Amino acid sequence: MTDHFEQSPPPELTTGDFSDSPEPFRLFAAWLKDADAKEVNDPNAMAVASVDETGMPDVRMVLLKAFDEAGFVFYTNFESKKGRELLATHKAALLFHWKTLRRQVRIRGTVEVVADAEADAYFASRARASRIGAWASKQSRPLESRFALEKAVAEYGLKYAIGEVPRPAYWSGFRVVPETIEFWHDRPFRLHDRIEFARTGANSAWEKVRLYP
């Protein structure tokens, strides 16, 4: 495996001035747009970290479905492992890594449940088969066989064969309201750029600090 840090410089070094950004949301939007143009798939994929009741951490990928100054939204089964942990602690960390761009964004914050109307609107926008899947999957609980899942899909497909597929009460969105957002960009010889925005609450001003790599 090559170590690009010690060898040729990475291809993209034109973004050193991202550290001039006075606030994180427009910068995040610009980086997500770059990722959308450059990454081979799922530019909106992010890791979500949570902890259980003993403080043991866990992490998994989800897809960012909306973001604005209010926070970063993803959808899931609230009875899943992550669902139960986030409902218990109301704290999460998010991580984006765009390999092609050699960029990373780290977010830490508090967790809110999105409004029912927002979850309904997103659920309605999903493919019908995905909506049926949300009913059929008891996410994170033991599944005796692939056949049992396919049977559940067939049963819910019949149940909702006519008309709209309603959103299950246990399926909704979490909004991570950021308290810190760190932008990292690869630079040669591990002398990376890191800029962290921090605020003490959702209505406070952002403070910006540059960090050693």
Ligand X SMILES: Cc1cc2nc3c(=O)[nH]c(=O)nc-3n(C[C@H](O)[C@H](O)[C@H](O)COP(=O)(O)O)c2cc1C
Cβ-based nearer residue to ligand X, 76 or 104: 76
Count of residues of this chain found to bind ligand X when the rule CB under 6 A is applied:
16
Q: Does 15 bind ligand X (CB under 6 A)?
A: no
Q: Does 137 bind ligand X (CB under 6 A)?
A: no
- Catalytic residue status for 60: no
Structure tokens at 156: 């819910």
User: C-beta of 36: minimal distance to ligand X in Å?
Assistant: 15
User: C-beta of 27: minimal distance to ligand X in Å?
Assistant: 23
User: C-beta of 50: minimal distance to ligand X in Å?
Assistant: 8
Instruction: For residue 72, give Cα distances in angstroms to 17, 93, 147, 183.
Output: 24, 11, 35, 15
Q: Does 140 bind ligand X (CB under 6 A)?
A: yes
Q: With contact defined as beta carbons under 8 Å apart, do 185 and 193 qualify?
A: yes
- State the residue for tokens 């056949």: 147
Q: Is 75 helix (H, G, I), strand (E, B) or coil?
A: strand
Cβ-based nearer residue to ligand X, 75 or 184: 75
Q: Does 44 bind ligand X (CB under 6 A)?
A: no
- Distance separating alpha carbons of residues 11 and 102, to the nearest angstrom: 9
| Cβ atoms within 10 Å of 139's Cβ, excluding its own | 17
User: C-beta of 43: minimal distance to ligand X in Å?
Assistant: 10
- Distance separating alpha carbons of residues 34 and 12, to the nearest angstrom: 12
- Distance separating alpha carbons of residues 70 and 41, to the nearest angstrom: 26
The DSSP secondary-structure symbol of 72 reads E
Among 36, 42, 68, 207, binds ligand X (CB under 6 A): 42
Q: Does 74 bind ligand X (CB under 6 A)?
A: yes
Q: Does 172 bind ligand X (CB under 6 A)?
A: no
Torsion of CA 78, 126, 158, 172, to 10 degrees: 20
Among 76, 104, 137, 172, binds ligand X (CB under 6 A): 76
Q: Which residues of the chain form contacts with ligand X (CB under 6 A)?
A: 42, 45, 58, 60-63, 74-77, 80-82, 139-140
Write out the catalytic residue numbers. Answer: 190
